[in-house]
Amino acid sequence: MSIVMTGGGTGGHLAIIKAVKEYLKDDELIYIGSTKGQDKQWFENDDDFTHKYFFETRGVVNQGGLGKIRSLFMMFKATLQAIKLLKKHQAKVVFSVGGFSSAATAFAAKILRIPLVIHEQNAALGSLNRLLKPYATAFISSYLEESPVKAYPIKQIFFENARIRHEVKTIIFLGGSQGAKAINTLALEMAEELRKKGISIIHQAGEKNIEEVQKAYDNLGVKAEVFGFTTKLAEYMKKADIAIARAGASTLWELSATALPTLFIPYPYAAGDHQYYNAQFLVKKDLGWLMRENEIDIEKVLVLLDENLEAKSKGLMEIVEKEGSKKIAALLKK
């Protein structure tokens, strides 16, 4: 008997699987994903899974007419493969985190009447998760009151690093490992004013932008800690007193768990504008700020440095539940 985990394509999806499987190591774990996206990069050599399978699948929504037909055929073929694998490994439950690479296995689970547990990372439901929600045995979302688990699955270290912020001594700009041009530009425009205020700068500029951004800071005579990909994100967040960041689900909840007040600048081309709705979830509770890329106003951003950070920090501590990974793992076992 096994627990099958499926889905991904992007790091935001795959991080959920990585967090939850840490509490399932006593079980037989199977991973089923796609040759497209980041699935193989994350899990091909992961020994926590006794078996790993990667189907030839790809997204459907972003394809043209003939492309859609080909993608649907690939998904149909992968669904037949998934049915065989679920039978072979006597799957007792399928855990899906969404994304195109989860479709075949999720459909196979329903065909075989195997319990299907879905995790939705974003406030705006992904197209596949929205389709499958009525058929799921359990549907998990930190944004829905009826969710059986409200806690988002993130590492405990972010909770351990939480602290109440009082004044801005350090600011962190987070554009993700790929970087965000709008955030990079804003950071450099603010740099001289931040130096005058004695505020230290931590800046995730993106792997491809490190040299360019560092040179820009040097030309301004401003010291900044610039990086791209990092395994020390929790440490950087702990140092900071305020953040300016994208609003991907994992980043949003990691910032919240650290009790770090944040100005969110959503990626404008995210599917279904989900980053905007993720940020809105906190902004409506007065626990963060939000600006569209085309609405960025440096004077308004600088004003935020004098806002009441203590109230937002305390509010974030109260809203974020702990042990999301552990609770989801317990639900899968049940």
What domains, with CATH codes, occur in the chain? 2-148 (3.40.50.2000), 157-319 (3.40.50.2000)
Over residues 256-273, mean pLDDT:
94
Instruction: Specify the range with the lowest mean pLDDT, choosing from 20-24, 57-61, 243-247, 283-287.
Output: 57-61
pTM for this one? 0.84
What share of the chain in percent tops pLDDT 70? 97
**Residue 326 reports pLDDT greater than 90:** yes
Residues 6+ apart with CB under 8 A from 275: 122, 246, 247, 248, 264, 266, 267
Q: What are the residue ranges of helices labelled H in 145-201?
A: 156-160, 181-196
Q: What are the residue ranges of helices labelled H in 165-273?
A: 181-196, 210-220, 233-239, 249-257
Spatial contact of 98 and 119, defined as CB atoms under 8 Å apart: yes
Q: In what order do the strands lie in the sheet with 29-34?
A: 51-55, 29-34, 2-6, 91-96, 116-119, 138-140
Of residues 276 and 19, more confidence is placed in: 276
Mean pLDDT of the chain: 93
**Residue 62 reports pLDDT greater than 70:** no
Instruction: Specify the range with the lowest mean pLDDT, choosing from 19-33, 66-80, 120-134, 316-330.
Output: 66-80
Of residues 70 and 256, more confidence is placed in: 256
- Its sign, for the CA torsion 168, 250, 131, 274, is positive
- What is the pLDDT, as a whole number, of residue 171? 98
- What is the pLDDT, as a whole number, of residue 152? 94
Compute φ and ψ for 151, nearest 5 degrees: -70, 135
Give the number of other CB atoms < 10 A from CB of residue 330: 13
- What is the pLDDT, as a whole number, of residue 73? 80
Residues 6+ apart with CB under 8 A from 107: 75, 79, 82
User: 317 burial class (0-12, 13-18, 19+ CB within 10 angstroms)?
Assistant: middle
- What is the pLDDT, as a whole number, of residue 63? 62
Spatial contact of 139 and 282, defined as CB atoms under 8 Å apart: no
Instruction: Specify the range with the lowest mean pLDDT, choosing from 33-37, 57-61, 198-202, 234-238.
Output: 57-61
Q: What are the distances in angstroms from CA 327 to CA 139, 161, 238, 322? A: 13, 21, 25, 9
User: 276 burial class (0-12, 13-18, 19+ CB within 10 angstroms)?
Assistant: buried
- What is the pLDDT, as a whole number, of residue 306? 94
Summarize pLDDT for 77-127 with one digit per residue, the tens.
999 999 999 999 999 999 999 888 899 999 999 999 999 999 999 998 888
What share of the chain in percent tops pLDDT 90? 76
Summarize pLDDT for 236-250 with one digit per residue, the tens.
999 999 999 999 998
- What is the pLDDT, as a whole number, of residue 120? 94
Summarize pLDDT for 295-307 with one digit per residue, the tens.
999 999 999 999 9
Sequence-distant contacts of 312-316: CB under 8 A, at least 24 apart: 312/165, 312/261, 312/286, 312/287, 312/288, 313/163, 313/164, 313/165, 313/259, 313/260, 313/261, 314/164, 314/259, 315/285, 315/286, 315/287, 316/256, 316/257, 316/259, 316/260, 316/261, 316/282, 316/287
**Residue 279 reports pLDDT greater than 80:** yes
